[in-house]
Amino acid sequence: MSKQDYMNTWVQEPPLDYSFRSIPVIQDLISEEPRTGLRPLRHSKSGKSLTQSLWLNNNVLNELRDFNHVISQLLEYPENLAWIDLSFNDLTSIDPVLTTLFNLSVLYLHGNSIHRLGEVNKLAILPRLRSLTLHGNPIEEEKGYSQPWGPSSCPMLRSSPSRSLQPRAQVGTMSPAIALAFLPLVVTLLVRYRHHFRLLVRAVLLRSFRDCLSGLRIEERAFSYVLTHALPGDPSHILTTLDHWSSHCEYLSHMGPVKGQILTRLVEEKAPACMLELGTYCGYSTLFIARALPPGSRLLTVERDPRTAAVAEKLIRLAGFDESTVELIVGSSEEVIPRLRTQYQLSRADLVLLTHRPRCYLRDLQLLEAHALLPAGATVLADHVVFPGAPRFLQYAKSCGRYRCRLHHAGLPDFPAIKDGIAQLTYSGPG
């Protein structure tokens, strides 16, 4: 095929698709196999792809280093690349390499972490750029940002390259003077809470998208990863595998290794004969506890959601813990706590871990007191008391006079800048 024929037919070629591969660096494209669709990819005699479309969406890219070098090894005519999908990655800026692609007409950057509106101006040099997506970035909150981006709504994209690509303020919404007055506040908030925004994107938006796409919950996808990468019967290796999956694939709302070490130390120090966990989730913290329990000890763990509990049950048994060591109870903590003594033969809990819903911590602590399940000297641990926070629970524990309180500080896993902590309450008795 001649270069001219190629230019005339590129839109009919399927894209070179590397989406949903958890690729961290561009160099990995060389070793990765692209996805295949109904139409096969066509290649030149040299073995390079003839497409002009490159899909890199839903990975973990935070930079585009060596982009031109790698693309030249994949595409027969890299200079004619016309469509790039970089949506749902971790890019914080628009890399200058994109400004060298003068035939680029479609660029998807939505769902990244680009926080400076001025970054868009870099693309003004591209004469053929007609469609640009930026929603789901922190810049979306800036005044003057408008959607959608394209020839009809953004005349700058079809004008001279020297024109600015910065979006126009919407007519009739706010005067420029008022917008400028609020701009420093908006920028300050975006900078201050940038880590929280990234957490929102990874833990909520991307998760919901992948749930719909795969038909599986994140806990089920995590367990599938563990099955293929972890060593059965080795809880330490299973925990490490979950940490790797959460950091490099999809964010898992789990305790994380730092808090896990705190939990392990406290379990080993207290050496409880019987321990209660409210909030099994996928079984991550359960493995930390079970691994640290002394021989002959027993752990009761309670999970409200049956589907999540099914995943946790598989993970716990995969790690090698049977029902004599770890018993999983499916039901809400409010319903289970009153039945612990009669139905599950739990007369006292020497150590309790609260890791379900912070708004339920106070209710459940008072239920444990009311049913005399806390002996004098019992320890109650509560996760997430700083973020998202459990102020009423902490206020009660400090003011009722029955607990000695201590806070172990730790950041969220993968987001250490977001401060959190585990509260340690030592029960002195009914008083």
Q: Please report whether residue 105 resides in a domain.
A: yes
Supply the pLDDT for residue 215.
Answer: 86
pTM above 0.85, yes or no: no
Q: Which of 158-162, 175-179, 344-348 is predicted with the least confidence, judged by mean pLDDT?
A: 158-162
Q: Is the pLDDT of residue 344 over 90?
A: yes
Query: Of 34-43, 164-173, 228-237, 408-417, which has the strongest mean pLDDT?
Result: 228-237
Segment 168-185 mean pLDDT: 60
Same domain, 232 and 116: no
**Listed residue (25, 79, 73, 70) closest to 52, CA to CA:** 79
Asked whether residue 341 is assigned to any structural domain, the reply reads: yes
The confidence band for 239, taking pLDDT boundaries of 50, 70 and 90, is very high
CA torsion angle for 424, 391, 278, 234 (degrees, to 10)?
-60
In a domain, 42, yes or no: yes
Q: What is the mean pLDDT of residues 380-407?
A: 92
Quote the pLDDT of residue 232. 93
Confidence label for 330 from pLDDT (cuts 50, 70 and 90):
very high
Residue 306 lies in a domain: yes
Instruction: Average the pLDDT over 155-183 and give the result.
Output: 50
Q: Clarify whether residues 154 and 297 are in a common domain.
A: no
Same domain, yes or no: 261 and 158: no
Where among 174, 203, 233 does a domain terminate? Answer: 174
Question: Are residues 240 and 143 part of one domain?
Answer: no
Q: Which of 76-80, 146-150, 376-380 has the lowest average pLDDT?
A: 146-150
pLDDT (0 to 100) of residue 174: 54
State the pLDDT at residue 284: 96
Average pLDDT of the residues in 340-358: 94
- Alpha-carbon distance of 205 to 201, in angstroms, equals 5
341 and 226, same structural domain? yes
Is residue 19 predicted with pLDDT exceeding 70?
yes
How many domains, the chain? 2
pLDDT one-digit tens code per residue, 82-93: 999 998 888 999
Q: Are residues 166 and 225 in the same domain?
A: no
Considering the domain architecture, whether residues 159 and 252 belong to the same structural domain is answered as: no
Query: Do 249 and 326 reside in the same domain of the chain?
Result: yes
Considering 174, 205, 239, which residue would you say is the last residue of a domain?
174
State the sign of the Cα–Cα–Cα–Cα dihedral 214, 216, 221, 223.
negative
Full 3-state SS string of the chain: CCHHHHHHHHHHCCCEECCCCCCCCHHHHHCCCCECCCCCCCECCCCCECCCEEECCCCCCCCCCCHHHHHHHHECCHHHCCEEECCCCCCCCCCHHHHHCCCCCEEECCCCCCCCHHHHHHHHHCCCCCEEECCCCHHHHCCCCCCCCCCCCCHHHHCCCCCCCCCCCCCCCCCHHHHHHHHHHHHHHHHHCHHHHHHHHHHHHHHHHHHHHHCCCHHHHHHHHHHHHCCCCCHHHHHHHHHHHHHHCCCCCCCHHHHHHHHHHHHHHHCCCEEEEECCCCCHHHHHHHHHCCCCCEEEEEECCHHHHHHHHHHHHHCCCCCCCEEEEECCHHHHHHHHHHHCCCCCCCEEEECCCHHHHHHHHHHHHHCCCCCCCCEEEECCHHHHHCHHHHHHHHHCCCEEEEEEEEEECCEEEEEEEEEEEEECCCC
Instruction: Write the CA distances from 33 to 12, 49, 59, 287, integer angstroms.
Output: 21, 12, 14, 35
91 found inside a domain: yes
Average pLDDT score over residue span 243-252: 92
Ramachandran angles phi, psi of 74, nearest 5°: -100, -35
The pLDDT score that the predictor gives to residue 167 is: 45
Rounded CA separation 13/299 (Å): 57
Confidence of residue 429 (pLDDT cuts 50, 70, 90): confident
Both 151 and 245 in one domain: the answer is no
Asked whether the predicted pLDDT for residue 101 surpasses 50, the reply is yes
**Domain check: are 12 and 93 in the same one?**
yes
Residue range 38-49: mean pLDDT, rounded = 81
Encode pLDDT of 119-158 as tens digits: 888 888 899 888 888 887 888 777 666 544 444 444 334 3
Domain endpoint, select from 116, 139, 174? 174
Residue 229 lies in a domain: yes
The proportion of the chain whose per-residue pLDDT surpasses 70, expressed as a percent, equals: 88
Range in 205-214, 315-324, 378-387 with the lowest mean pLDDT: 205-214
- Calpha distance 401→77 (Å, rounded): 74
Q: Are residues 331 and 390 in the same domain?
A: yes
CATH code of the domain containing 340:
3.40.50.150
Instruction: Indicate whether 111 belongs to any domain.
Output: yes
**Does residue 41 fall inside a structural domain?**
yes
CATH code of the domain in which 56 resides: 3.80.10
Does residue 409 surpass a pLDDT of 80?
yes
Verify that 307 and 165 share a domain, yes or no: no
Domain that holds residue 342: 218-427
User: Which is more confident, 337 or 39?
Assistant: 337
Model pLDDT, residue 258: 92
